[in-house]
Chains A and B, each alone.
Chain A
Amino acid sequence: MAVLGLTVGIGLWAEGLGLLSTLTNVFLFLLLTQAWNLLGGYAGYLNLAMAVFFGVGAYTTGILAHRGNWPPLLTAPLGGLVAVLWAAAVGVPSLRVRGPYFAVLTMILGFLAQVLAYNVPWTRGAMGIYVSPLPWDRRVVEQFFYFTYLGLALLVTGMAARIQSSRFGAALVAVREDEVAAGVLGVRTTWVKVAALLLGAFWAGVAGGLYTQRIGYIEPTGVFSLDISVDVVLMAMVGGAGTWQGPLLGVPLVMLVAELLRVGVVHLGLFGARIPVEFNRVVFGAALIFIALYAPQGLMGLIRPFRGRRLGV
C-alpha cells in the first residue's frame, strides 16, 4: 500500500521527467512480464517472442495514428486485439510443440515477424513510422502514460493473482508439471494453453500500442527486438516465474541493476567513452545461468522456500 501511495505521489509531484520516464518503463515491463508469465511461467512454455505481440500492437497504433490520427485510448486496445489475432493465427499452431522446440520456434517466429515488418508495404519498412505527439504539455503527456501503464500493470497483476488461485491457474500449472497426465485427468490442455497465450498477447499488444504514442517513432528492429523478449523472460525468472508476485520483484530489480550497470560502467570508464549496452547483457546472461543452476524458483523461491516446491519426481 505504502509503495502504491509512493508511486502515485511520484506520478503527481515528481520534479524531473527522468524519474517518471524510468518508472513508466518499469510499469511497461511489469505489464509485459505478467502477460508472459501466464503461459511462460504458470504453464512452462518458454515463449521467446513476446516482442512480436508488443511489436504488432505498436505497429497497429503506428499505422492507425499515422494515417488517421486515431487517439491512443482507441488504438491501444485495437493493438491488443490485432496481437490476439496474430497470436491466434501463428501462436496457436505453435502450441503443438513443446519444450525446447517451442522456445526455438517462437524465436524464429520473432525473426519472421521482423523480416515481414521490414518488407510488407504498409509498415514503411526500415524508415519506420512517425506519430505526432499528444497535443499536451510534455509533463502531462508523461504523466498520462505513467498512470495508464501503472493502472494496467496493477490490473494485470490483480488478474494474475486471481488466475493463480483459480481452476484456470491450476490447470496451467498442471500443464507445466505433466501435460500428458493433465490431459488424461481431464484438463483441457489445448484450450488452457490457448487462453493463456491469447490473454498474454492482448496485454502485450496493448503495451505496444501505447508505446508508439508515447515514443512517437517505431521501426522494426526496435519493437520486434529479441532483447525485449529476453528481458521479459529474465525479469520473470529473477522474480520467480509462475507466481504473480514474481514480476513485481523481478522487473524493478532487473531494471535497477541495468541502470546501475550503465551508470557504473560509465563512471569506471571501463570501455572508454562508449556505453556498452552489451555489458548489461553479459551480466544478464550470467544471471540467467545462475538462476537456472541455483535458484530455479527465482526470488520467490528464496522468500518462501517451503511452499510451492516442485514434486521431486
Chain B
Amino acid sequence: MDVYGRSPEIRVVDVEAGYYPEQTVLQGVHLVARPGQLTALLGPNGSGKSTVLRVVYGLLRPRRGAVWVDGKDVSQVPAHQRVGLGMGYLPQGRSVFPSLTVEENLEVGTWTLLRVARRAALDRVYERYPALRAWRDRPAGILSGGQQRMVEIARMMVTDPRVILLDEPTAGLAPVAAQEVYEEVARLRREGRTVLLVDQNVRAAVSLADYVYTLAFGRNQLEGTREEFQQRMHAVVREWLRV
C-alpha cells in the first residue's frame, strides 16, 4: 500500500554534537534510515538517542559530520524549514498548545502550506483521525494524555511528511493508549514512509522495526535487522541494565 512512491533516505554521517561548548553528547554517530522502512534507535538513558533526532531535525547543529536527506546535506537547514523538506518530528513529552483548541492546534500545523491547501489538509487529517472531530473545539490542554498524543501526531501529519522522527511516542501513556500509538506507528510504516523511532520500550520497538541501531555513551554500539535482534534481545537488555 505504498501510495506515495519512494520516501527519502536519511543518512547520519559521523555526527559529533553537544548542547554546551564543553559537552559532547554524540561522538561520531553513524546511521541510515532506509526509504520506506522503520528504523529503531535504542539505548539506555543518556546514550544520546534523542539528541540524534534533534540533530536530524536541525534543532541542534552538529559540530562535525553531516545529515543527508536523499543525498542532500541538510545539516545547516534550520528546524523550521524541515517541514518543507517533507519531514515531521514528534518531540518527547507533551507538546500540544494547551489553551488552543484541537482544531487550532492542527491549524498551526498548516502554517507552511499554501493558503488554498490549508482547508483540504485539515479535512484530510480529520478523515485520517476521525476521533479528533469530536474534540475539535476543546482546548487541547484538557484532553487526556493519550488524546493529546493523537493530537500531536495528527498535527505533525497535517503536512503529510514522508520522513517521520518519533521521540519516545508512548512514554508516559496508559497501556491502551500506547497500544494505539504503536498501531499508528505501524500504519505510518505500512504507508511507505521513512520512520526513525527512538524508544525505551525495546520489545515493542524491535517488533515494529525493519532495522535496529543501539547507542551507548554517544557512540554506535550494535546494529542489525529485526530478526537478528529478536534473537539477541535478552543479551542486549541485560547489558544495558549493567551500563
Q: Which residue of chain A has the shortest Cβ distance to B20 in the bound complex?
A: A312
Residue A120, interface by CB 8 Å: no
* Chain A residues whose C-beta falls within 8 Å of the C-beta of B20 in the assembled complex: 312-313
- A312→B20 CA distance, assembly (Å): 7
* Chain B residues whose C-beta falls within 8 Å of the C-beta of A313 in the assembled complex: 20
Name the distance in Å between A312's Cβ and chain B's nearest Cβ.
5
Residue B71, interface by CB 8 Å: no
- Encoded as 1 (CB less than 8 Å from any A CB) or 0, chain B from 73 to 94 comes to 0000000000000000000000
Q: Which residue of chain A has the shortest Cβ distance to B23 in the bound complex?
A: A312
* Chain A residues whose C-beta falls within 8 Å of the C-beta of B21 in the assembled complex: 312
Q: Which residue of chain B has the shortest Cβ distance to A311 in the bound complex?
A: B20
**Which residues in chain A, 258-313, are within 8 Å of chain B measured between CB atoms?**
312-313
Name the distance in Å between B60's Cβ and chain A's nearest Cβ.
15
Q: Which residue of chain B has the shortest Cβ distance to A313 in the bound complex?
A: B20
- A221→B22 CA distance, assembly (Å): 51
* Chain A residues whose C-beta falls within 8 Å of the C-beta of B22 in the assembled complex: 312
Name the distance in Å between B67's Cβ and chain A's nearest Cβ.
24
- A313→B20 CA distance, assembly (Å): 7
Name the distance in Å between B79's Cβ and chain A's nearest Cβ.
21
- A312→B22 CA distance, assembly (Å): 9
**Which residues in chain B, 29-51, are within 8 Å of chain A measured between CB atoms?**
none
- A313→B19 CA distance, assembly (Å): 9
Name the distance in Å between A45's Cβ and chain B's nearest Cβ.
26
Name the distance in Å between A177's Cβ and chain B's nearest Cβ.
15
Q: Which residue of chain A has the shortest Cβ distance to B21 in the bound complex?
A: A312
* Chain B residues whose C-beta falls within 8 Å of the C-beta of A312 in the assembled complex: 20-22
- A313→B18 CA distance, assembly (Å): 12
Name the distance in Å between B25's Cβ and chain A's nearest Cβ.
15
- A313→B21 CA distance, assembly (Å): 10
- A264→B22 CA distance, assembly (Å): 48
Q: Which residue of chain B has the shortest Cβ distance to A312 in the bound complex?
A: B20
- A313→B23 CA distance, assembly (Å): 11
Name the distance in Å between A139's Cβ and chain B's nearest Cβ.
58
Q: Which residue of chain A has the shortest Cβ distance to B22 in the bound complex?
A: A312
Name the distance in Å between B83's Cβ and chain A's nearest Cβ.
30
- A313→B22 CA distance, assembly (Å): 11
Name the distance in Å between A167's Cβ and chain B's nearest Cβ.
27
Name the distance in Å between A264's Cβ and chain B's nearest Cβ.
43
Name the distance in Å between A309's Cβ and chain B's nearest Cβ.
12
Name the distance in Å between B26's Cβ and chain A's nearest Cβ.
18
- Report B's interface with A, CB cutoff 8 A: 20-22
Show 4 A/B contacts (Cβ-Cβ < 8 Å), sorted by A: A312-B20, A312-B21, A312-B22, A313-B20
List the 4 shortest-distance A-B pairs measured between CB atoms, nearest first. A312-B20, A312-B21, A313-B20, A312-B22
